[in-house]
Amino acid sequence: MKNESVQEYFGSRVFNDRVMKDRLPKDVYKALHKTIDEGMHLQMDLANVLAEAMKNWAVENGATHFTHWFQPMTGVTAEKHDSFISPEPGGGVIMEFSGKELVKGEPDASSFPSGGLRATFEARGYTDWDPTSYAFIKDNTLCIPTAFCSYSGEALDKKTPLLRSMQALDKQSMRILKLFGNTDARRVITTVGPEQEYFLIDLEMYKKRPDLIYTGRTLFGSRPPRGQEMEDHYFGQIKPRVKEFMADLDRELWKLGVYVKTEHNEVAPAQHELATIYSTTNIATDHNQLTMELLKTVANRHGMACLLHEKPFAGVNGSGKHNNWSLSTDTGENLLEPGATPSKNARFLLFLTAVVRAVDEYQGLLRLSVASAGNDHRLGANEAPPAIMSVFIGEELEGVLRSIEEGTDYHEEKNRLMSIGATVLPHIPADKTDRNRTSPFAFTGNKFEFRSVGSEDSIAGCNIILNTIVAEILSEYADILEKAEDFDATMSALVRDEVRRHKRIIFNGNGYSEDWVREAEGRGLLNLKSTPEALDQFSVKKNREVFIKNGVYSESEISARQEILFENYYKTINIEAQTLLMMTRRNIFGAAVKYEKELLDMLLSKKELGMEDEAGIKRLEKMSFLKKSLSDGIDALERVLAEEGGIQSARELAFYHLVKIVPAMERLRNAVDEMERIIPLDFWPYPTYGQILYSVR
């Protein structure tokens, strides 16, 4: 049997447009597209026809069950499987799937996070089919992407507000386009191409570290002699075992229609990255959730564990997820494309200015969108953007905006060719500006790259906020320009005034430097270093109003999400603290006692022989000191954990964990790490960083 080409099997597990066009009656196919393109509701009789075609296709491809696949506030996806079978007289079965089953599901909502929107005893929740995202087959189950809401209609998921935010941005962008005379476009969509970083370690090593199993990161570990200092892993040769995994992952993702394109080694040992081609934000979000799931399952198949935590190992780079965001019309125009002469591209400058102002005006919300206990370890380290939000636009665009502010002409630099010096090498065109990897929000040609997103995060959160705040600014611009008697003059004045007011958020320098922290403070920019501080931004009046005005969240939905995120934070820290205590009490303290006894026995033996061992005495003294530090650290962490019992509110618990428990964990960790450096490997109960990071050969 010949091997299938990628073109043959790409999207083979997806009920995509090609399949629908082939299997649906023309009127149903057109009605479905009208639903997708114009936001119309699909009539139930058409839903029945669509469901039958979808079921037949799924069964032909080996599916026996279906599920409404949704994204609750847990951070992962959820599924409840039902088989297609229905009883038939005589003891047989038939395969059935109705329009009602396609459109609506009723999973139990009581056990999903609701932030107070639902009482525990109120179980009813609904899943609602999202026709803009294709159904697909995974593990012989037809997965139907859906929204998830409560009995009273509040959103309990991440898809619903994402779709609302896309709708808000579409509405306001179209108002602007009409002012520029664009009559061809019917809608504006946001597109995203996420880059996903991850670690691969040997599965057997993973199984020996309870902290990796329970928390996703190592809670202790001394740095190995060699980490990422030589920088030779970055873009280096991919190891055969990893290459086989990547090839297998590509096949699985391509079958599901995920446009995964780029893969390479990252900076840290055992760290890698993959990137996908741009898709509509809704679909890109679905695809990224599938990608994270398959990274883990395919890795297991290859005897490896995939770590998606933002900081699985201290002392080496953590993992992020770069959210490449842009705006396009349904006719294919990129609204963030500057063109050959950006200074003369008025429409581009207006959209650029809107994004710059949105980041400045709502910098707290943008920081909130990437807040998590895991990402707190990464933001601000010399591997990721700082917790301070700023916008990089490059020298050319900064010059354009400066000339607008000052009312002077800007002379465009013509495209230049770079000569590298060796005559055999061709001249290559130089980009007009360099890249800035230290910027959290960088303009990179015709898109913005939001680099602060955590590797384990759903990209729904940051895109909900990004879409909403840009929609709000475009709404204000449209209100002004629609009333203008002289459109060109009003628009020029608007852009000039906005640049003056919001230029503080533009920074093209080194975001890692301490000088920038001081300069940002002088500019009045926020520096929200921890998740609890960032989550308080949900309580700021203007931040709540922007969601409500644009129909993205209701007042109760905002409060619910704030409550859920506070809970997620303190529960995460609590699980880490309990795991650290378990590992230190059970095994590490025992290893310390055993090694101390070994040293003591050795000294006593030498003493009986009349031998002095000053080095051995010093080592024993240090071991005794570290054992005491370890014991004190365990007691201190147990004490602060016990003292949290009287705290009731999620916010207070989050700040208590930040202020009391995190420092206690750090002190205990320091004692463990110091102990690991002197205890021989045959006494140490867990794999070390060196063993783990270099376990995949």
The whole-angstrom separation of Cα 104 and Cα 129 is 6
pLDDT at 236: 80
Considering the domain delimited by 6-157, tell me its CATH architecture: Roll (3.10)
Does residue 430 register a pLDDT over 60?
Answer: no
Instruction: Please tell me the predicted confidence (pLDDT) of residue 521.
Output: 95
Distance, CA of 479 to CA of 548 (rounded, Å): 18
Give me the amino acid identity at 339.
Answer: G
pLDDT at 411 over 50: yes
**Average pLDDT, integer, range 630-657:** 94
The pLDDT assigned to 108 comes to 76
pLDDT at 425: 47
Q: Is the pLDDT of residue 431 over 80?
A: no
What count of other Cβ atoms lies within 10 Å of the Cβ of residue 282?
22
Residue where the block lists tokens 């990628």 = 6
Give percent of the chain above pLDDT 90. 71
**Is the confidence at residue 257, as pLDDT, over 60?**
yes
- Give the per-residue pLDDT at 372: 96
Please name the residue that has the structure tokens 């007289």: 89
Give me the residues paired with residue 104 across strands: 128
Predicted confidence at residue 25, as pLDDT, reads 92
Residue 423 pLDDT greater than 60, yes or no: no
CA distance 341 to 190: 24
* Contact indicator for 515, 123 with CB cutoff of 8 Å: no
What pLDDT, on the 0 to 100 scale, is given for residue 666?
Answer: 97
**Of 194, 117, 108, 197, residue with least CA distance to 152:** 117
* Alpha carbon separation from 119 to 72, 137, 150, 654 (Å, rounded): 16, 34, 11, 22
Confidence band, pLDDT 50/70/90 cuts, at residue 38: confident
Whether the per-residue pLDDT at 419 is higher than 60: the answer is no
Burial 506-519 (b: 16+ CB within 10 A, else e): bbbeebbeeebbee
The identity of residue 172, as a single letter, is: Q
pLDDT, tens only, 56-83: 999 999 999 999 999 998 888 999 999 9
> Can you tell me the mean pLDDT for 335-341?
85
pLDDT the model gives residue 428: 46
DSSP three-state, residue 217: coil
Q: What is the pLDDT of residue 112?
A: 86
Cα separation of 157 and 414, whole Å? 48
**DSSP letter for each residue of 308-319:** --S-SSTTS---
How far is CA 608 from its chain centroid?
Answer: 63
Q: What does the pLDDT average to over 454-464? A: 96
Report the distance separating Cα 93 and Cα 101, nearest Å. Answer: 18
Query: Identity (one letter) of the amino acid at 557?
Result: E
Domain extent listing, the chain: 6-157, 165-414+430-553, 569-693
Helix H or strand E encompassing 127 = strand 125-129
pLDDT at 39 over 90: no
- First CA to last CA distance, the chain: 32
Question: Percentage of the chain with pLDDT > 70?
Answer: 93
Q: How confident is the model over 128-138, as a mean pLDDT?
A: 94
Residue 200: the pLDDT is 98
- The pLDDT tens digits of the residues spanning 528-540 come to 999 999 999 999 9
Judged by DSSP in three states, 591 sits in: helix
pTM (two decimals): 0.93
Residue at 326: amino acid letter? S
pLDDT tens, residue by residue, 465-512 = 999 999 999 999 999 999 999 999 999 999 999 999 999 999 998 888
Pick 695 or 122 by higher pLDDT: 695
Q: Does domain 569-693 fall into CATH 1.20.120.1560?
A: yes
Q: What's the pLDDT at 37?
A: 76
Quote the longest CA-to-CA distance of the chain: 103
Which CATH number is correct for 165-414+430-553, 3.20.20.110, 3.90.420.10, 3.30.590.10, 3.90.870.10? 3.30.590.10
Phi, psi dihedrals of residue 425, rounded to the nearest 5°: -90, 135
> Do residues 131 and 42 make contact, with C-beta atoms less than 8 angstroms apart?
yes
Query: With contact defined as beta carbons under 8 Å apart, do 269 and 316 qualify?
Result: yes
The whole-number pLDDT of residue 541 equals: 97
204-232 pLDDT tens trace? 999 999 999 999 999 999 988 777 766 66
Task: Provide the mean pLDDT of the chain.
Answer: 90
Residue 406 pLDDT greater than 70, yes or no: yes
Distance, CA of 378 to CA of 623 (rounded, Å): 32
267-289 pLDDT per residue, tens: 889 999 999 998 999 999 999 99
Residue 416 above 60 pLDDT? no
Tell whether the model's pLDDT for residue 432 goes beyond 70.
no
For residue 564, how many other CB atoms are within 10 A of its CB?
Answer: 23
Q: What is the mean pLDDT of residues 574-590?
A: 97
